[in-house]
Structure 1
Amino acid sequence: MYPSPTLDQLQIFLTVVETGSFSAAARTLNRAQSVISYAIANLEAQVEMPLFERAGARQPKLTEAGTALLEDARRILSGLDVMRARIKSLKDGLEGEIALAISVFVPTDVLVGVLRDFRDQFPSVSVALTVGELGAIIDVVASGKASIGIGGAPTKLDDTLVADRIGHSFMIPVVAPDHPLARRDKPLSITDVRDEIQIVVTDISGLTKGRDFNVLSYRTWRVSDVTTKYHLIRGGLGWGGLPASLIWDDLRQGHLVQLDLEAYAQGEYPIYVIRKLANSPGPATRWMIEAFRSRLSNCPDETDFNTMLATAGRSEQVTGEPVK
């Protein structure tokens, strides 16, 4: 039969190690020293090995077996503390997990910043993160696979969903520096781009089927996600719009070139939080929504972005070093 140490035995064992003696452990745990000694003796009987070297030592010293067991004891008791905190949180109405669906149009630094603060604020709440495109965010919220979705303008909402605008982003038409469109020294017209390949994301959710956004070329290559679109455009295979936050470094370092294309409707791309009307957000979800709202509402608009880009370019010309 395998040994089955009790949690109380492991707690006493760990306290003896941390306090340095049986008597100190007794005082810390407010128990008689005989109880501490008896618990350790029972634990050693359970594992069938001595855990402390007592002979000739004024203070208990861990044996090799005791040292090996120590990390296991810490891990088990730490897990118990997490479980206790989670149970308390659930009793207080705090969610056990938030399933978050987020669009690729949400700036990565915003996502990381919110989740870093969330981890510190709600250590007992788990996060299940799904990253998607276009209508996929609505799909996972509507199906119940996500508690909330953070993404672009809802194209189709039924009575079970509610959307609240919390910020903005925007798209920029770009090409690789060796692409023919990058070598034009004048503003581009629709005629200039009609015969060039445009890389377009197709919504796999089907919610925007039959609808194209800013598709100006006769020749299109369609991909399933923005990441692939980014790599194809950067590889010189075509032109297309990409989220400004995704391509800041590429524009600044000259890996991508912004197109002066008036026909491409840029402007702000509104970002919404989407959830089921019947599911009232708990305290952790409400905190997360407000954290996204705070950060997204402070993102630069198109004018600010272009000003920042121009300033960065001038600084690099002066110093010879990229601006971070």
Structure 2
Amino acid sequence: MIGSLTLDQLRVLVTIAETGSFSAAGRRLRRAQSAISQTVAVLEAAQGVTLFDRSAHRPRLTEIGNVLVGQARLVLMGAGRFEAMAAVTREGVEPELAVAIDPLVPTAPLIESLRALRDAFPNLAVSFSTEGLGGAERRLRRGDAALAFCILLPSVPDDVRALPLLGARLLPVVAPDHPLAHLGRAATRGDLEEHVQMVLSDPSAPEGPSHGVIGTRVWRFVDLGRRLDFLLAGLGWCRMPEHLVGPLLSEGRLVELSIDDDPARLNGPLTVYAAQMRDRPLGRAGRWLLEDLQARFEHTQRAS
């Protein structure tokens, strides 16, 4: 029966439900009432149901008619999205934009850019995923993401086009009741080796190399929020993104450590990249998002 169903029939059915009568639907659709009645009769015959109770002066939707009006609205909305997606694709906009983000990347500018993207491309389907360390790059390589906002260690791979967005400064921090917070001097390597260092690791290679590891008492985490919970509980020390721990330092819930000959300080901030595969160029919406986000990160850095 579905082969004889048309969008026009569904549009007529929904219009009758919205206007309250066949004649009012005819006026809205600029058709004769007889044409409206004929469309409904053909729809009822094709589907084998009675959509309207005609026993009263004005036809009323039956119980099944009410249900099918709701389904008709869904079908018409889907058809509208279908047409809109086809239209924007003809204009060079990708049908879907998939984005992945690593945990060390600041999210506030990205949130604002995604809101602006929604306004600029209202019919664009966007998928978004947050990943453990290294996860955004893996999604990019698998083709599950067109754009990855991530840290690329130890260097940018040759097959990846990477635009540097900002430097992520990682601060060595500890809870105020932890022994390292009461040294009264810069911590030495010997001091740090006596305590647990909580490290953010790649879940696909949890024993692999990690940035700024000192000593052997290492607890590895794949989730930034869970590591923060353990940090605040005083179970160890770690390096955290400045944008996340800044408020906690101001509130006295964390203390920044000074470390003698800190290798991480010598290397400077980690670079956050917007990465894409060289053999998979972005569509118009992806390029728009990248330009908008770059401008927002630049504004954030100038303001800080």
Structure 1-normalised TM-score? 0.80
Task: Tell me, yes or no, if structure 1 residue 23 matches structure 2 residue 54.
Answer: no
Confirm whether residue 298 of structure 1 aligns to residue 275 of structure 2. no
Deviation at 1:186, TM superposition (A): 4.0
The equivalent residue for 2:102 is 103
Cα RMSD of the aligned pairs, angstroms, is: 3.0
3-state SS in 2 of match to 1:247 = helix
Secondary structure of the corresponding residue to residue 289 of structure 1: helix
1:42 matched to 2:56? The reply is no
Answer whether contact 2:102 2:134 (CA < 8 A) is retained. no
Are residues 240 and 158 of structure 1, via their aligned partners in 2, closer, same or farther at CA, if it must alter by over 3 Å? Answer: closer
Partner of 1:276: 277
Contact 1:135–1:208 (Cα < 8 Å) also in 2: no
For 1:46-57, what aligned pairs fall within 5 Å after superposition?
Answer: 46-57=46-57
Secondary structure of the 1:227 match is helix
Residue 11 of structure 1 is matched in structure 2 by: 11
Counterpart of 1:232? 230
Q: CA deviation at 1:253?
A: 4.0
Tell which deviates more after alignment, 85-94 or 108-117: 108-117
Which of residues 248, 255, 268 is equivalent to 1:250? 248
Contact 1:200 / 1:223 at 8 angstroms: preserved in 2?
yes
- Please give the per-residue CA displacement for 1:213-254, whole angstroms capped at 9, x wherever unaligned: 222234222233433432322232210011223334433444
Deviation at 1:81, TM superposition (A): 0.6
Partner Cα distance (1:40, 1:232) in 2:
65
Question: For residues 68 and 182 of structure 1, do their structure 2 counterparts lie closer, same or farther at Cα, with a shift above 3 Å needed?
Answer: same
Give me the whole-angstrom Cα distance separating, in 2, the residues matched to 1:173 and 1:60.
74
Measured at CA, do residues 66 and 207 of structure 1 come closer, stay the same or move farther in structure 2, by a change above 3 Å? same
Aligned in 2, Cα 1:193/1:28: closer, same or farther, shift over 3 Å?
A: same
Partner SS state of residue 72, structure 2: helix
Letter in 2 for 1:203: D
SS at match of 1:299: helix
Superposition pairs for residues 1-324 of structure 1, below 5 Å?
Answer: 5-57=5-57, 60-204=59-203, 209=208, 211-261=209-259, 263-264=261-262, 265-266=264-265, 267-300=268-301, 304=304
**Would the alpha carbon gap of residues 177 and 2 (structure 1) be closer, same or farther in structure 2, given more than 3 Å must change?**
same
Query: One-letter code of the match for 2:232?
Result: R
5+ unaligned residues in a row in structure 1: which ranges? 305-324
2:202 counterpart SS class: coil
3-state SS, counterpart of residue 76 of structure 2: helix
* Matched length: 301
Q: Is the CA contact (8 Å cut-off) linking 2:85 and 2:123 kept in structure 1? A: yes
Q: Provide structure 2 residue ranges, at least 5 long, that are not aligned to the other structure.
A: none
Report the Cα offset of residue 162 of structure 1: 1.4
In 2 relative to 1, CA 175–158 (structure 1 residues): closer, same or farther, beyond 3 Å?
A: closer
Instruction: Supply the distance in 1 between the matched residues of 2:22 and 2:215 (Cα, whole angstroms).
Output: 79
1-side partners of 2:300 and 2:191: how far apart? 32
Q: TM-score normalised to the size of structure 2?
A: 0.84
CA distance in 1, matches of 2:153, 2:292: 21
Partner AA of 2:40 in structure 1: I
